[in-house]
Chain A
Amino acid sequence: MTLRIAFKALLRNKLRSSLTMLGMIIGVAAVIAMVALGSGARSTIESQIRAAGTNLIYVMAGNFQAGGVRMGSGAANTLTVEDAQAVRDQVSGIQYFAISVQTRAQVIAGNQNWPTRITGTDVELPLIRSWPVQHGAFFTPQDVTSAAKVAVLGKVVSDTLFGENTDPTGQTIRVRNQPFKVVGVMSSKGQGTGGEDQDDAVYVPYTTVQKKLLGITHINGITISAVSATAVETVAKDVAALLRQRHHIFQGDTDDFMVRTLEEMAAVRTESTKTMGALLAAIAGVSLIVGGIGIMNIMLVSVTERTREIGLRISLGARGRDVLLQFLVEAIVLSLVGGVTGIALGVAASTTLTRVLTWPTTISPEAVALAFACSALIGIFFGFYPARKAARLDPIEALRFE
């Protein structure tokens, strides 16, 4: 019965009802759109990480101390090809495996030149990174064994030296006065997990970097992919244990290498997008509260404006709780209808954002449910004070009210 009375009272003043709802509609729509935007950004980053391969484990040569001076990570020359072989042979759960030796050099082709990273690696790199070759092919195990002077170019290097949309396979580049035969070009990959441009690099066999370019026997690191995401932790632990044993590092001493999983690096970035998402949701939440205050404001005005009506209802036999319920239900209906309309508008806004601006959005059922619950709660919370005010009116005073 109270529902009927409240609905009729709302319908009697359509303009005021819809204007009141507007605050709620905008608030809820903002929440839905903002949360969709936030979780869209997060899932994009998550899928980028998944594309990079969540099974990845990086082993890097660690800190090296000369006297009292620390040389920083990667400086130690204690990580060797033999260590890498031992890891490959003795640790179970490894799927793909690539040694890496890095240097920087000026790369020259014809009258063009370009300073870039020379990454000495192994044949399994494209498999580890699920990274296809665009032109030609990756170098072969024979190239690694014989330390052949072959190179696979990153997209940026290829474009810079040979021009865009050309296949430089079979051409020659010069690195530190030595000719390298271009055997392939990698497809475009973009930023790596450390923020480096993976397309701005030249990939050659690690043996070639060791023997032909640097004249060293140690390596900078190993990239490992585990057979499954669940195996990552065990593999990382086993690799660390094996290397400590091989390097004679005792319990409590500092490692001269580092083992990092991509999971750890990903966590940092996911955390930052989460913060961003929370910030957006908080801003949207504020607008929801403003919408609620709007409802309270209008309900208070409405109680004053309808003082005579309330007096009449009381004199006709409405009890305090009848009046309280009527106004409370009016507030809840306003905020719920506003909430539902807001959800529809928010979903439409997110879809439009994705379509027009190609911003990724993900509409989560949780956010929709939360916005709906919030709007109901706001109706009850902000509707209660005006409703109680109405219920406590003295009918004699209320009937005399002009």
Chain B
Amino acid sequence: MPVISVKALKKTYTLGGEITVQALRGVDMDVEAGEFVAVTGPSGSGKSTFMHILGCLDRPTSGRYLLDGRDVSHLSRDELAAVRNGKIGFVFQGFNLLARTSALENVELPLLYSHSPVKGSERHRRAREALAVVGLSDREHHHPNQLSGGQQQRVAIARALVNEPAILLADEPTGNLDTRTSIEVMDVFQRLNAERRITILLITHELDIAEYGTRTVAFRDGLIVSDAPTLTRRRATEELAHLPQGDEA
């Protein structure tokens, strides 16, 4: 059974009065567990709208979206909140960490909104575990302004992992990072995907970043124009080994 199954997905926005914009014009896509899908396309192609619907931040105008076998196309706002909390991990371009808050507490944040309350000690344990996965065990008590961009994004990834979601949605995660740090973040994604079988959807407009995935889906004018396995897949670990050592630890 696919983790994500989308059938004839349409999204139409009404901009004041008569003008309507068709952001998605009927998208079909299945994503199996353990895939690393890169979604690409120019701005205005509908990839952001697609990602918002997959992330349960928005609802489709028509069509069906099954997440982990459950139809989530017509849930209420509160039900969608519960789905986001339990099934989806978000990684954003701007990191979106809480300022003046330690890395550990930032990672714990999704657990505070869990429907079944998680005890304080259990929250700490799971947050530490998630930080260890992204290699930041020694930065637990650092605040975001004491961390580099790459480290901040790794804290955000740990936050996305802490609820053990079905999918990880990354929206332009390397948009604010330099080349070397971008590769480091991709390294984290590739290892999570390979070692922990985590399903990843990566939205990017940079084609070279898309090459870290196992499958590339291209959007144009609200439709999928190509969907194929990535033939020449880049390996972040190998590239890092050949790059000159950066300043970062």
Chain A positions within 8 Å of B, measured between CB atoms, are: 1, 4-5, 8, 12-13, 308-309, 311-322, 395-396, 399
Is A315 within 8 A of B113, CB to CB? no
B109 at the interface (CB under 8 A from A): yes
B197 at the interface (CB under 8 A from A): no
Chain B contacts of A321 at CB under 8 A?
78
Chain B contacts of A320 at CB under 8 A?
77-78, 81
B117 at the interface (CB under 8 A from A): yes
Is B99 within 8 A of A399, CB to CB? no
Chain B contacts of A319 at CB under 8 A?
77-78, 81-82, 113
The digit string for B128-171, where 1 denotes a CB below 8 A from any CB of A, is: 00000000000000000000000000000001000100000000
With CB as the reference atom, state the residue of chain A lying closest to B85. Answer: A317
Cα separation A8 to B101 with both chains bound (whole Å): 9
CB-based closest 4 A-B pairs: A317-B85, A317-B113, A319-B81, A312-B96
Is B57 within 8 A of A317, CB to CB? no
Chain B positions within 8 Å of A, measured between CB atoms, are: 52, 55, 57-58, 77-78, 81-82, 84-86, 90, 92, 94, 96, 98-101, 105, 109-110, 112-114, 117, 159, 163
Chain A contacts of B113 at CB under 8 A?
313, 316-319, 322
Is A315 within 8 A of B57, CB to CB? yes
Cα separation A8 to B90 with both chains bound (whole Å): 23
**Min CB gap A388→B, angstroms:** 14
Is A316 within 8 A of B52, CB to CB? no
Is B98 within 8 A of A309, CB to CB? yes
Is A316 within 8 A of B90, CB to CB? yes
Cα separation A312 to B90 with both chains bound (whole Å): 9
Is B57 within 8 A of A308, CB to CB? no
Is B81 within 8 A of A318, CB to CB? yes
Chain B contacts of A315 at CB under 8 A?
55, 57, 84, 90
With CB as the reference atom, state the residue of chain B lying closest to A11. Answer: B100
Is B57 within 8 A of A316, CB to CB? no
With CB as the reference atom, state the residue of chain A lying closest to B117. Answer: A1
**Min CB gap A56→B, angstroms:** 69
Known: A311-B96, A316-B159, A321-B78. 17 other contacts (CB 8 A): A5-B112, A308-B94, A309-B98, A312-B98, A313-B109, A315-B84, A316-B85, A316-B109, A317-B85, A317-B110, A318-B81, A319-B82, A319-B113, A320-B81, A395-B57, A396-B57, A399-B92
Cα separation A308 to B93 with both chains bound (whole Å): 12
With CB as the reference atom, state the residue of chain A lying closest to B87. Answer: A317
Chain A to chain B contacts (Cβ below 8 Å), 21 pairs: A1-B117, A4-B112, A8-B101, A308-B94, A315-B55, A315-B90, A316-B84, A316-B85, A316-B90, A316-B110, A316-B113, A317-B81, A317-B84, A317-B110, A319-B77, A319-B78, A319-B81, A319-B82, A321-B78, A322-B113, A399-B96
Chain A contacts of B86 at CB under 8 A?
317
With CB as the reference atom, state the residue of chain B lying closest to A9. Answer: B98
Chain B contacts of A4 at CB under 8 A?
112
Which of B77, B81, B82, B96 has a CB less than 8 Å from the CB of A308?
B96
With CB as the reference atom, state the residue of chain B lying closest to A402. Answer: B94
Is A1 within 8 A of B112, CB to CB? yes
Which of B52, B81, B94, B114 has a CB less than 8 Å from the CB of A314?
B81
With CB as the reference atom, state the residue of chain A lying closest to B97. Answer: A312
With CB as the reference atom, state the residue of chain A lying closest to B95. Answer: A312
Chain B contacts of A322 at CB under 8 A?
113
Cα separation A102 to B53 with both chains bound (whole Å): 99
Cα separation A265 to B155 with both chains bound (whole Å): 77
Cα separation A315 to B58 with both chains bound (whole Å): 11
**Min CB gap A305→B, angstroms:** 11
**Min CB gap A369→B, angstroms:** 34
Cα separation A309 to B109 with both chains bound (whole Å): 11
Chain A contacts of B78 at CB under 8 A?
319-321
**Min CB gap A393→B, angstroms:** 12
Chain B contacts of A317 at CB under 8 A?
81-82, 84-86, 110, 113-114, 163
Is A396 within 8 A of B58, CB to CB? yes
Chain A contacts of B101 at CB under 8 A?
8, 12
Chain B contacts of A312 at CB under 8 A?
92, 96, 98
Chain A contacts of B117 at CB under 8 A?
1
Cα separation A1 to B113 with both chains bound (whole Å): 9
With CB as the reference atom, state the residue of chain A lying closest to B114. Answer: A317
With CB as the reference atom, state the residue of chain B lying closest to A316. Answer: B110
**Min CB gap A331→B, angstroms:** 19
Is B52 within 8 A of A396, CB to CB? yes
**Min CB gap B5→A, angstroms:** 22
Q: Which of A4, A13, A318 has the most CB of B within 10 A?
A: A318
Q: Which of B58, B96, B163 has the most CB of A within 10 A?
A: B96
Chain A contacts of B81 at CB under 8 A?
314, 317-320
Cα separation A313 to B90 with both chains bound (whole Å): 11
Chain B contacts of A308 at CB under 8 A?
94, 96
Cα separation A356 to B163 with both chains bound (whole Å): 62
**Min CB gap B1→A, angstroms:** 24
Cα separation A12 to B92 with both chains bound (whole Å): 22
With CB as the reference atom, state the residue of chain A lying closest to B56. Answer: A315
**Min CB gap B164→A, angstroms:** 13
With CB as the reference atom, state the residue of chain B lying closest to A312. Answer: B96
Cα separation A399 to B172 with both chains bound (whole Å): 13
Chain B contacts of A1 at CB under 8 A?
112, 117
Chain A contacts of B58 at CB under 8 A?
396
Chain A contacts of B96 at CB under 8 A?
308-309, 311-312, 399
Cα separation A376 to B246 with both chains bound (whole Å): 54
**Min CB gap B118→A, angstroms:** 10
With CB as the reference atom, state the residue of chain B lying closest to A395. Answer: B57
